[in-house]
A and B are shown apart, each in its own frame.
Chain A
Amino acid sequence: MKGPSITAADINGIVGIVPTPATEDASRWDVEHTVALDETARMVDMVVAGGTDVLLTNGTFGECATLTADELYAFVDTVVQTVAGRIPVFAGATTLNTRDTVTRARKLASLGVDGLFLGRPMWLPLDEHQLVQYYRDVAEAVPDMALIVYDNPGAFKGKISSRAYSELATIPQIVAAKHIGLLLGGGAFIEDQKAVGDRIRLLPLENDWHYAAQLFPDLVTACWSGNVVCGSAPLVALRTAIAARNWEEAEAIAGQLEWALEPLFPDGNFELFMRYSIQIDNAEFEAAGLIRPGPTRPPYHHAPERVLESGRECGRRWRALHDRYSLDTADLALQI
C-alpha cells in the first residue's frame, strides 16, 4: 500500500461540484442510459478551464442516488478522460451500505479517479461509531484513494459531530470534508476545525469562506461550490481576494454571491428546498445557460413551477455576476 498521492495540503482554492448531464428522456423509468456524455465532456472542460482547482462529482444534485452503477461508471470515465490529470477528481460512491460502496469504489479507482466524494448510508441514521467505522472500512478497502467526506445532515440524517471528526482525522486517506459551513451550521464549523486541525481540509460553503478563512487563515484555504457550472469568474475573484487576505474585497464578493443565491430556498423554506433540491439546482444550472443539464431522474423529477422558478432566478443572477466578473478580468488583461 502506498496510500493516496493527494493530501489535505493539496486541497486548495475552489472545490467545484458538477451535475450529471442527462439525456432528454432521462425522467422515464424505462430508459437505461441517461448520461449525456458529450455534454459531460464539454461541461467538465469548461469547469476546469474556468479555474476550478478540485473536481467533485455525484453528490446530491450530481444524482449519486438516481444513477445506475453502469451510468455512474460511464459518466466518471468521461470526466476522468476529459480532465486528463489537470486537476484532482473525486467521484461520488455513496450507497445504502458499506459493501456496495466498496464495490463502486474499486471500480471507480480502476477508472483513474484520485479519490471519492463520500456520504454515508442513510436508510437509518448512523451513530458516531458506525459512521467512523464506515469510513475506516472504505479506506481499508481502497487504501490508495483519497477521501472527501460529505457532511450533509439533510441527506444523511444527522450532522457529523466534532467527536466523530476527531476520529475521522486519524484516517490518513481522508483529506477533506464538505462542510455545511458557518451560517447554516452555527458554531459547528469552529469546533470541527479544532477537531481536525491540519489533517482534514474543512470546506465551507463559498459565501461563508471569508468568515472561516479569517478565523483560520492557514487552514481554511479552500471552499466548495455547487455553482461552478453557472460560471466560475466570481469564484476566481473570491479565491484571489482570500489568498491575498483582502477580507474587505472577499466580503464584498461574498455579498454578491449571497444576492445571487438568495432565492434558492423557495419562500425562504429550507425544508421545501430539500424536498426538491435536485430539481431546483438543475433549474438553476439550466437558467444560467452555460450547460444543458437535461431533466432530472426519477423519482426526483416533478416539482412545482414556482419552486423551479426560485432555482432559475438564482441561475440568472449568478450568470449576471459571472459575466460582470469575466468582463472585469478581460479589462484587467487589456490594461496589462
Chain B
Amino acid sequence: MTTSRPRLTPADMRGMWAFVPACATADATSWKAESTVDVEALAALVDRLINDGVDGIVTTGSAGEGHTLTTDEFQVLGKTAVEAAGGRVPVFLGVSMLHTRESIARARLAAACGADGIMSGPPMYLPQSMENALQYYRDLSEAVPDTAIMIYQNPHAFRITLTPAVFAQVAQVRNIIAVKQTSMEIFNVIGSIKAAKDNMAVLVLDQLMYPAMMFGAAGAWSIDVCLGPWPSLSLRDACEKQDWEEAARIADQMQAPFTTLGLTMEEFQAFQAPWWKTAVDVAGYGRAGPARPPFVHVPPHVTESAQRYARQWIGLAEKYRILRDGGLVSAQIPDESS
C-alpha cells in the first residue's frame, strides 16, 4: 500500500497536467509481445516533467494508448507512474473500457496501483445517449467512491459530446472533480466551465489556456510538455498571474507549429498515438517508443508531420527554457517564427 493522500478536491486540479505516452519497448509493434511497457523511459519522463514543474500526471488516454495495453501492462504502467511521481503531484490513470463493469474493474486496479484518480470517457462501441453516459459516471463513482474522477470529454473517440447540462449533473457527484476538455471550440469550453461552477475543474488544451483561464478554466492538459514543457509552463504562469497580454503572446507562438500539421483533423485523430510518440522521440525530452497493434502502420506523411512539428516545438521549447532560466519574459526575446 502506498502512502494515502488526502482526497483531492476541484481546487487541487489546477495548473499544467502532463499527459504522458505509454512508453514502449522496441518490440511493442508485434502482437506476440507480452510485456511492452518501457518502465525506465516512463519513470524518467515522469520524473523529469515533475522536476521541471508540471502540476499533475495523467496516463492512458487516446494518445496514451489506454486502449492497446493488456491488463497486466496497464498495472505495470500505473505502478511505474505512481512510483516515479512519488507523491509530489497527483497521478490519474486513464480508464475507458468497452462497458461499465470493465471500466470499474480497471478503476479498481488503478486505485490499487496507488493512483489519486482516474480519467474516464463513456464506452464507445456504440454512440451513447446522454442518459446512459450519465448513468455510466454515476455507476463508476459509486463503485470507486474513494477515487477522484476526471471526465474525459473526447467526442472523436467516445462518439458523444457531453453537454453543459450533463456536466452540471455529474459535477454534483462527490468524487467527480474535473473534466478534460478535448474540444478546441472556446464556446463549448465556456459552456462546460459555467456548468461545472466550483464543483468541477475544467482542464483545456494547453494552447487554449488563453483565453480559457480568463473565463474560469482551472488549468490545462498537455502532451506538448513531453516534448519540452517550458512554453506550456510559461503560459500557465502568465495565466495564473492574469497577465493576459503575455499569455496571448505565448499562446500564439504555441499554436504556430500546429498550423503546419499538413494533415486533416481526421488523419491527425486516427494516427494520434504514433504521431505523438514520433514527436516525443524526435524532440528527445523523453523516449516514447513505437505504438502498439493495431496502430503499427503509419503513412510516411503522418510521420513527417510529427517530425516537422517536433522540430518546431524544440525551437520554441529551447527559447522558453532559456527565458525561464534567466527569469525573463517572452517579449524580451525576438520571435524567430514571425
Contacts and interface: CB of A to CB of B under 8 A. Distances in A.
Interface stretch (A214-222, A245-253, A292-300, A310-318): A292-300
A133 interface: yes
Contact of A127 (B98, B157, B297): B297
Interface-central residue, A67, A97, A122, A271, by most chain B CB under 10 Å: A97
Contacts of A137: 31, 293-294
A123 B135 contact: no
Contacts of A130: 294-297
Consensus secondary structure, chain B interface:
loop
Contacts of B299: 127, 129
A168 B124 CA distance: 25
Interface residues of A, number: 47
Interface in B250-297: 266, 269-273, 292-297
Interface residues of B, number: 47
A299 B295 contact: no
Contacts of A103: 70
A131 interface: yes
Given A68-B101, A123-B157, A124-B273, A97 B293 contact: yes
Interface string B126-137: 111101110110
B101 A29 contact: yes
B126 A96 contact: no
Contacts of A278: 126
A95 B98 contact: yes
A29 B297 contact: no
Nearest to B295: A130
A99 B70 contact: yes
Interface in A127-153: 127, 129-131, 133-134, 137, 140-141
Given A98-B31, A123-B67, A68 B143 contact: no
Interface-central residue, A60, A99, A127, by most chain B CB under 10 Å: A99
B62 interface: yes
B2 to A, nearest CB: 26
Nearest to B34: A99
Contacts of B135: 298-299, 301-302
Contacts of A301: 132, 135
Contact of A96 (B67, B100, B129, B142): B67
A68 B272 CA distance: 28
Nearest to A276: B129
B98 A96 contact: yes
A133 B295 CA distance: 9
A63 to B, nearest CB: 8
A65 B299 CA distance: 30
A30 B271 CA distance: 35
Interface string A299-336: 11111000000000000000000000000000000000
Contacts of B101: 29, 66, 68, 297-298
A65 B98 contact: yes
A281 B283 CA distance: 50
A277 interface: yes
B312 interface: no
A274 B297 contact: no
Given A120-B294, A302-B129, 19 more contacts: A30-B143, A66-B98, A67-B99, A96-B97, A123-B96, A124-B62, A124-B156, A124-B270, A125-B269, A125-B270, A127-B299, A133-B294, A137-B31, A275-B127, A278-B126, A298-B135, A299-B99, A299-B136, A301-B135
14 contacts: A97-B292, A98-B293, A98-B294, A120-B294, A123-B62, A123-B66, A124-B157, A124-B269, A127-B271, A276-B129, A298-B139, A299-B122, A300-B123, A302-B131
Interface of A: 29-30, 60, 64-68, 95-100, 102-103, 120-127, 129-131, 133-134, 137, 140-141, 154-155, 271, 274-278, 297-303
Interface of B: 31, 62, 66-70, 96-102, 104-105, 122-129, 131-133, 135-136, 139, 142-143, 156-157, 266, 269-273, 292-297, 299
